[in-house]
Homo-oligomer: A and B are copies of this chain.
């Protein structure tokens, strides 16, 4: 009889626990959909501060804002982590690109890529355009052909990928390394098709690189409509001269900060679950989806835990990372200090894929951790979460990677992300309040489960 009773008791206890979890997760979503501050926080970050590239005045304001917002939550501690950040500046004058066709002088919608050198304040450079579709294509070309020319990288994102991040991954080498490969062959500038699936007039900025010993040449993005138009013109007029002007420059590094707030763990205060987004953004638009959304969702995780009086066992640390966009100095410094301080990290969450309807999580950890998350699928399914796959979790938290930590990225629906990414169209109005709140609730729910059930180190 005893033998029978024992498993029955376990079964009843397990069932009761599952019901508790169901109830708690329901209360997290209820609070997120009725009492969240995320949307109003996002409005202030986007409308009162706006675009906030590392080194800018707006980035400084965002740090002050982040600290204030965290201070209002009544956390156990709020503090700044000093870092130095690059300070690239687009310049006072709008970028220009034009050529002549049968209509006369035709302008393209362009912007400088982040980190690019300028052509000089009021100085155009011009040269014949060569359209290519890959770094390999330019690598195989003769220097005599390329020298003095402007290289136009025009490989579009492949619309057949269901995940738009895969389409982005298949193209972004043109933006990142295009100037290096073109300069090796003597090109004087590069123009890169914007990383977007929509056909529109928004040029998309984003980070690009130079290589020691290779000439630094100006690099610009052109809108998808502009790229198509230029390509059509090149078919009609293979020898076509393009004139470009950018006034961007790189200024000396500046001091900035990661902004951190903590709820101290009741049982394991020295073991951490980090949750973050990045506070900086590109200097176009308002950094609403990238990554105002992740910033306010990470703050909201702490707000929801406080609102619901959930007392975590581990310390839950919200980190508003600085400088994800052009250097990742915040993420790197945060990880370095974690090693210096011998901090123990159980898990780290990042939201940096837009404030869209959540679909699941991308998990970079041991097979055991992934299986543990997958085993909770039935608890998360009622909230539309269904993707629990191994994958990259986030740029800011990636430097924390070691044998024990589990890195977890929130995966929202990706279809519209690259309509807004790094453009003037990444504005508050394109974020839906409920979708934003559901993302915050989804991270909070998974943090609640991990905090309750996972043991450190594994």
Q: Which residues of A are at the interface with B, using a C-beta cutoff of 8 A?
A: 29-30, 33-34, 159-160, 162, 164, 197-198, 357, 359, 382-384, 386, 413, 415-416, 419, 432-435, 438
Which residue on chain B has the smallest CB distance to residue A198? B433
Give the residue of B386, B415, B432 whose beta carbon is less than 8 angstroms from that of A438.
B415
Contact A162 B34 (CB under 8 A): no
Q: A30-B160, A162-B382, A359-B384 are in contact. List 15 more A-B contacts (CB 8 A).
A: A29-B160, A33-B159, A33-B160, A34-B159, A34-B160, A159-B434, A162-B383, A162-B384, A164-B434, A357-B413, A384-B413, A386-B386, A415-B434, A416-B432, A416-B434
Which residue on chain B has the smallest CB distance to residue A433? B198
Q: Which residues of B contact A198 (CB under 8 A)?
A: 433
Give the residue of B159, B357, B383, B434 whose beta carbon is less than 8 angstroms from that of A357.
B357
Number of copies: 2
A176 to B173, CA, bound (A): 56
A197 to B436, CA, bound (A): 14
Contact B434 A197 (CB under 8 A): yes
A416 to B356, CA, bound (A): 10
Q: Which residues of B contact A383 (CB under 8 A)?
A: 162
Contact B435 A415 (CB under 8 A): yes
Contact B29 A162 (CB under 8 A): yes
Rank and list the top 8 A-B pairs by shortest CB-CB distance, nearest first: A386-B386, A33-B159, A415-B434, A357-B413, A30-B160, A415-B435, A357-B415, A416-B432
11 contacts between A and B (CB under 8 A): A29-B160, A29-B162, A34-B159, A34-B160, A159-B434, A164-B434, A198-B433, A359-B384, A415-B432, A415-B438, A416-B432
Which residue on chain B has the smallest CB distance to residue A163? B384
A382 to B30, CA, bound (A): 30
A197 to B33, CA, bound (A): 11
Q: Which residues of B contact A30 (CB under 8 A)?
A: 160
A359 to B33, CA, bound (A): 21
Q: Which residues of B contact A432 (CB under 8 A)?
A: 415-416, 419
A359 to B435, CA, bound (A): 15
Q: Which residues of B contact A386 (CB under 8 A)?
A: 386
A384 to B386, CA, bound (A): 9
* Nearest chain B CB to A437 CB, angstrom units: 9
A247 to B327, CA, bound (A): 62
A416 to B29, CA, bound (A): 17
Q: Which residues of B contact A160 (CB under 8 A)?
A: 29-30, 33-34
Q: Which residues of B contact A433 (CB under 8 A)?
A: 198
Q: Which residues of B contact A159 (CB under 8 A)?
A: 33-34, 434
Q: Which residues of B contact A197 (CB under 8 A)?
A: 434
A386 to B358, CA, bound (A): 13
A415 to B357, CA, bound (A): 7
Which residue on chain B has the smallest CB distance to residue A381? B386
Q: Which residues of B contact A34 (CB under 8 A)?
A: 159-160
A413 to B359, CA, bound (A): 10
A160 to B198, CA, bound (A): 33
* Nearest chain B CB to A29 CB, angstrom units: 7
A357 to B416, CA, bound (A): 10
A280 to B429, CA, bound (A): 29
* Nearest chain B CB to A158 CB, angstrom units: 9
* Nearest chain B CB to A426 CB, angstrom units: 15
Q: Which residues of B contact A434 (CB under 8 A)?
A: 159, 164, 197, 415-416
Q: Which residues of B contact A438 (CB under 8 A)?
A: 162, 415
A24 to B198, CA, bound (A): 26
A162 to B162, CA, bound (A): 24
Which residue on chain B has the smallest CB distance to residue A359? B384
Q: Which residues of B contact A382 (CB under 8 A)?
A: 162
* Nearest chain B CB to A196 CB, angstrom units: 11
A308 to B89, CA, bound (A): 50
Q: Which residues of B contact A29 (CB under 8 A)?
A: 160, 162
A34 to B159, CA, bound (A): 7
